[in-house]
Amino acid sequence: MKICMVGEGAFANKHLDALEKIDDVEVVSICGGVEEVVNNVAKARKIAHATLDLHDALAQPGVEAVILATPTPIHAEQATQVMQAGKHVLVEIPMADSLHDAQALVALAAETGLVAMVNHVRRFNPSHQWIHNKIVARELTIQQMDVQTYFFRRTNTNAKGEPRSWTDHLLWHHACHTVDLFQYQTGGTAQSVTALQGPQHPDLGIAMDMSIGLKSPAGALCTLSLSFNNEGPFGTFFRYICDNGTFVANYDDLYTGDGDQIDVSNVAVSSDGIELADREFFAAIREGREPNSSLAQGLDAMATLDKLERALAVA
C-alpha cells in the first residue's frame, strides 16, 4: 500500500518509525512545511518524493492513504483535501479544533465512504487495551479515572524541544486524549462536565493550567489535571480506580495500584500504541470496514470538548 506522510515533526517521525515495522506499506511521498527539514527527513528515511504542496503529494502515482501529523489548526482543512482527493486518511488528534469542523469531516467521510480515522492512540496502547478487555469481559468497572497531563513548556516548542510555528492547547489537544479514553472506557458520552483554567500566558495566549471534571452516564468520574508549568517527568499518567483493583497506566506500561508491573506483552502484536493504531488503519482499508477510532467514533469527544470550552468561557 502506497501512502503519503504529511508532517515532518516529532509525531510524523514516530509514525515513520512505526511504519518501518509494518509489512506491505510504503511511504512514497512526504509533505511538510519547512523545506530543509522535509528534505532531510526524506533523505534519512529514503522517501523518494518530498514536497511542500499537499496537492502534489496526493497526485503521486498509486497513493492510496495519507497520515496527517501536522499542526492542529490545519487538520480539518487538510483532512478535507485528502478525502476530496479520494484518499483514506488517518489524522492525528484532534481531528479539528472546533465541533463544527469535526462534524463537517464526519459528514464528508460518510459521503465518500473512505476509511477516515483519528489517532486516539490511548485506545491502542497495550496498557489501556488491557483495561478495556477487562471492562468488556465485565471483570472491571471504572469508578474514577484520575489523570495528570504534565509538561514544562513555557515557550512554543514541540515534543522534541524544537521551535513550533503554532500554539499547542491544553483543552483541544492534550485533554482530547483523556476525554476520548474516558468515554471509550466507560461506554458513554459524559453527562456532566466542569472546567477551570488558570491565567493565560502573556506571549502564548493560552492557559498554562487547567482542571477538568467529567461524569459518565453510569456515574463514573474523571478528574483531569493539565499543566505546562510542571517540573518533572512529562507525559500523561492515568490511575484507574475500579471496583476490582486499582491500575496505573503510563503510555504502553501498566502497574497495579501498589506499583507491581503487569505483563501486557500478549495484549497485541506490538507494544507501541502508534504502530498498533497505524496497523488498524491499514487493516480497515484492506478489509473495507470502519476502524476503531474512526472520525465518527471520535465525534463524541469533540462534542464534550465543545461543552468544556463553553464551561471555561463562563467560569
pLDDT tens sequence across 244-275: 999 999 888 999 999 999 999 999 999 999 99
Q: Domains in the chain, please, with CATH?
A: 2-120+274-291 (3.40.50.720), 122-267+301-314 (3.30.360.10)
Q: What is the mean pLDDT of the chain?
A: 94
Average pLDDT over residues 177-193: 97
Question: What is the bridge-based pairing of β-strands 221-227 and 2-6?
Answer: unpaired
pLDDT tens sequence across 89-113: 999 999 999 999 999 999 999 999 9
First to last CA, the chain: 49
What's the confidence (pLDDT) of residue 157?
66
What's the confidence (pLDDT) of residue 161?
65
pLDDT tens sequence across 38-82: 999 999 999 999 999 999 999 999 999 999 999 999 999 999 999
Band (202; pLDDT cuts 50, 70, 90): confident
CB crowding 66-97: b at 16 or more within 10 Å, else e: bbbbbbbebbbebbbbbbebebbbbbbbbbbb
Residue 126 has pLDDT above 70, yes or no: yes
What's the confidence (pLDDT) of residue 255?
98
Three cell numbers, residue 26: 510504503
Which of 165 and 78 is assigned the larger pLDDT?
78
Average pLDDT over residues 182-203: 94
Cβ atoms of residues 252 and 262 within 8 Å: no
pLDDT tens sequence across 23-33: 999 999 999 99
Share of the chain above pLDDT 70, in %: 96
What's the confidence (pLDDT) of residue 234?
81
What's the confidence (pLDDT) of residue 163?
66
What's the confidence (pLDDT) of residue 263?
97
What's the confidence (pLDDT) of residue 165?
64
What is the number of other CB atoms lying within 10 angstroms of the CB of residue 203?
A: 10
What's the whole-model pTM score? 0.94
Band (232; pLDDT cuts 50, 70, 90): confident
Band (160; pLDDT cuts 50, 70, 90): low
Cβ atoms of residues 95 and 82 within 8 Å: no
* Alpha-carbon torsion angle 52, 81, 298, 233, nearest 10: 10
Helix spans in the chain (H) = 10-19, 35-45, 54-58, 75-84, 99-112, 126-136, 176-186, 273-287, 295-314
